[in-house]
C-alpha cells in the first residue's frame, strides 16, 4: 500500500510504504531565522561594504537595503550538482583520441579501461580485496544493478531523507523486497540511525544531494554486521571519507566530484558483496545487470571488459580528471578543496540576514550539494507559489549576468538554492557568487518593498 503523494510538490516525489514511516515523513522543516549577529567574515572581505550596508538595514527592519552590483564575476559560473563543472584547466583538445573509433575489446582500448579502474581504485583508497568496475547507466545504473543483484534474501532497512533515497526505497518496494523497513526523515534531517538492524541489509545514500544533508560518519553501522551495506556515494566520494569497513557496495559516477561525463557508473564491491553475488540470484536479471553467471562473479567487468559498449571519449575525459586529481595530491586534496568551498558558503550563511541552511544540524551539512533556503521574513511571508516565482526571477537574473548557472533546488526539494562545492569548484568563484546572491536578493527586496509601499499608500 502506498501513502498518497504529498500535495505540495516539496516532499518526496515517490510515495512510500505506509508501514514504518514516521509522523514527520515528508514534512518541510520549520523555518529558521538567522541567529548569528552580523560580523564580517575574512573570506568575504571583498564584499564587506555591500554586505555590511545591506545587513545593517535589514537588521533594523528598514524596507530599503543596499547591495551594490559586484564588479567581479566568478571565473566559472557553473555550479550545477550534476553534471558538475569540469576540473580547472580542462580542455577538450587535451583528451587523447587514439582509442576513439576502435573496439573497446581490442587490447589497447581495453587496457585504457583497466587503467581507469585501477587509477580510480587508488584514488578512492579502496581496500585491496574489493573489486571496482565500470558499468552502464551512470550512478543510477550502478546502484540499481547492485540492488537487483544482491537484495531479497533477507530484510532490508532503507534510509530515506531526500529524493534519491526515496527513489531507491520505491524501487525496492516495486521489486517486492520484504520485509522492507523505510526509516525516513523530512528534508533537512537524517532518519533515526539507531533503528537499523545489523542482520538486515542496509540501503542508503552517503550524501543527500537534493537536501544537502550527509551522513557525517558511518559509525552507526556495525563492523560485524551480517547484512550488507549498499551505499550510493555519488556525491560523497572524493568529498568526504568513506569508511569501507562498514560498507559493502559503493557506487558513484564520473560526472560528480571529478567533473567527468555521465553515462557510466562505478561499482565497488567488498568480498562479502561478491560472495552474495555468487549465491543463487534473487530474481531474473537482464543482461545489462548481470554481474555473475552460473554462480561465479563476472570478473571481466572488474578488469575493463564492460558488459556493453562504453564511450571511450568519456573514458578519456575521466583520465584527464584523474591526471588533475593525482597532480593535486589525490583524495585528501580533493576533500580539502570541498571543505574550503564549504567554509566560504558557511561563513557567508553565518553572516547573512536573509539566507540559511536547509539542514537542521550543522554536523550533517553536505560539502558538495549545499542547499540553502531564503529565511528573510519578507520572503517567507509569501505564498509558496510566490516564493517559487521570486526564486525563479533571482536565478534568471544571475544567469543573465552569467554569474551562476543551475543553482536552483532539485525539482522536488524545498524552494531554495543548491550550490555545488565539489573539488572542481574554485573557492574564489564561490566568494564572488555570494556577493552576486546578496545583490540579487536585496535588489528584489527593494523592488518588493517599493511595490508593497506603492500598493498601500
Ligand atoms: C544521491 C544520488 N544518487 C543518484 C543520482 C543519479 O545519478 P546519475 O544521474 O549519475 O545516475 C544522483 C544524481 O544527482 C544523486 O545525487
Among candidate residues 427, 422, 365, 399, the one with its CA nearest the CA of residue 82: 422
At 457 the pLDDT is 64
Q: What are phi and psi of 100, to 5 degrees?
A: -75, 140
Q: Is 251 in the pocket of ligand 1 (CB under 6 A)?
A: no
At 90 the pLDDT is 98
Q: CB-based contacts of 155: which residues, under 8 Å, 6+ apart?
A: 178, 179, 180, 181, 197, 199, 200, 201
At 455 the pLDDT is 74
Q: How far apart are CA 160 and CA 181, in angstroms?
A: 10
At 31 the pLDDT is 35
Cell 540576514 belongs to residue: 353
Q: How far apart are CA 302 and CA 145, in angstroms?
A: 14
Q: Is 164 in the pocket of ligand 1 (CB under 6 A)?
A: yes
Cell 547484512 belongs to residue: 227
At 212 the pLDDT is 98
CA of 359 to the centre of ligand 1 (A): 19
At 452 the pLDDT is 86
CA of 82 to the centre of ligand 1 (A): 8
Segment 166-208, tens digit of pLDDT:
999 999 999 999 999 999 999 999 999 999 999 999 999 999 9
Q: How far apart are CA 28 and CA 9, in angstroms?
A: 10
Low-confidence ranges of the chain (pLDDT < 50): 1-63
At 17 the pLDDT is 40
Query: From the alpha carbon of 142, which atom of ligand 1 is closest?
Result: 11
Q: Is 261 in the pocket of ligand 1 (CB under 6 A)?
A: no
Cell 537574473 belongs to residue: 397
Which residue of 79, 137, 143, 209 sits with most ligand 1 atoms within 8 Å of its CB, as the best mutation to test the pocket? 209
Q: How far apart are CA 237 and CA 331, in angstroms?
A: 9
CA of 71 to the centre of ligand 1 (A): 35
Among candidate residues 371, 365, 354, 358, the one with its CA nearest the CA of residue 410: 371
Residue 144 and residue 191 in contact, taking contact as beta carbons nearer than 8 Å: no
Q: What are phi and psi of 268, to 5 degrees?
A: -110, 135
**Please, what are the domains in the chain?**
42-86+330-456 (3.90.1150.10), 104-328 (3.40.640.10)
Q: Nine-digit cell at 139? A: 550512478
Total count of residues recorded for the chain: 457
Q: How far apart are CA 299 and CA 132, in angstroms?
A: 10
At 453 the pLDDT is 81
Q: How far apart are CA 252 and CA 88, in angstroms?
A: 21
Q: Is 139 in the pocket of ligand 1 (CB under 6 A)?
A: yes
Query: From the alpha carbon of 82, which atom of ligand 1 is closest?
Result: 14
Amino acid at each position: 500500500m502506498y501513502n498518497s503523494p504529498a500535495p505540495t510538490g516539496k516532499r518526496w516525489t515517490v510515495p512510500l510504504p505506509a508501514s514504518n514511516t514516521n509522523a514527520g515523513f515528508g514534512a518541510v522543516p520549520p523555518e529558521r531565522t538567522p541567529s548569528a549577529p552580523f560580523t564580517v567574515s575574512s573570506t568575504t572581505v571583498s564584499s564587506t561594504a555591500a554586505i555590511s550596508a545591506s545587513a545593517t538595514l535589514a537588521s533594523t527592519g528598514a524596507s530599503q537595503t543596499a547591495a551594490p552590483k559586484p564588479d567581479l564575476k566568478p571565473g566559472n559560473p557553473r555550479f550545477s550538482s550534476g553534471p558538475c563543472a569540469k576540473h580547472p584547466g580542462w580542455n577538450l583538445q587535451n583528451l587523447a583520441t587514439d582509442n576513439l573509433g576502435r573496439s573497446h575489446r581490442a587490447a589497447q582500448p581495453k587496457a585504457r579501461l583497466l587503467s581507469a579502474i585501477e587509477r580510480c581504485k587508488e584514488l578512492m583508497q579502496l581496500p585491496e580485496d574489493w573489486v571496482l568496475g565500470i558499468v552502464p547507466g551512470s550512478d543510477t545504473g550502478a546502484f540499481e544493478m547492485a540492488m537487483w543483484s544482491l537484495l531479497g534474501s533477507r530484510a532490508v532497512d532503507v534510509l530515506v531523507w531526500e529524493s534519491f533515497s526515496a527513489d531507491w526505497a520505491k524501487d525496492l518496494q516495486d521489486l517486492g523486497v520484504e520485509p522492507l523497513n523505510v526509516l525516513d526523515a523530512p528534508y533537512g534531517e537524517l532518519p533515526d540511525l539507531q533503528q537499523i538492524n545489523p542482520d538486515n541489509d542496509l540501503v542508503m545514500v552517503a550524501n543527500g544531494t537534493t537536501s544537502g544533508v550527509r551522513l557525517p560518519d558511518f559509525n552507526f553501522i556495525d563492523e560485524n554486521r551480517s547484512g550488507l551495506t549498499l551505499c550510493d556515494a555519488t556525491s560523497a566520494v572524493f568529498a568526504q571519507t568513506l569508511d569501507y569497513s562498514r560498507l559493502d557496495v559503493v557506487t558513484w559516477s564520473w560526472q560528480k566530484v571529478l567533473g567527468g561525463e555521465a553515462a557510466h557508473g562505478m561499482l565497488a564491491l567488498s568480498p562479502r558483496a561478491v560472495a552474495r553475488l555468487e549465491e543463487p540470484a534473487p530474481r531474473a536479471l537482464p543482461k545489462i545487470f548481470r554481474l555473475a553467471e552460473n554462480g561465479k562473479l563476472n570478473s571481466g567487468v572488474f578488469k575493463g571488459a564492460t558488459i556493453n559498449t562504453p564511450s571511450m571519449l568519456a573514458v578519456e575525459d575521466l583520465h584527464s580528471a584523474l591526471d588533475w586529481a593525482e597532480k593535486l595530491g589525490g583524495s585528501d586534496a580533493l576533500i580539502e578543496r570541498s571543505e574550503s568551498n564549504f567554509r566560504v558558503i558557511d561563513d557567508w550563511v553565518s553572516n547573512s540576514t536573509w539566507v540559511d541552511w536547509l539542514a537542521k544540524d550543522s554536523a550533517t551539512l553536505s560539502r558538495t550539494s549545499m542547499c540553502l533556503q531564503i529565511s528573510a521574513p519578507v520572503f517567507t511571508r509569501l505564498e509558496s507559489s510566490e516564493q517559487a516565482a521570486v526564486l525563479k526571477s533571482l536565478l534568471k537574473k544571475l544567469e543573465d549576468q552569467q554569474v551562476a548557472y543551475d543553482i536552483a533546488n532539485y525539482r522536488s526539494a524545498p524552494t531554495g538554492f543548491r550550490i555545488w562545492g565539489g573539488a572542481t569548484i574554485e573557492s574564489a568563484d564561490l566568494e564572488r557568487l555570494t556577493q552576486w546572491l546578496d545583490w540579487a536578493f536585496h535588489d528584489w527586496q527593494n523592488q518588493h518593498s517599493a511595490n508593497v509601499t506603492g500598493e498601500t499608500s
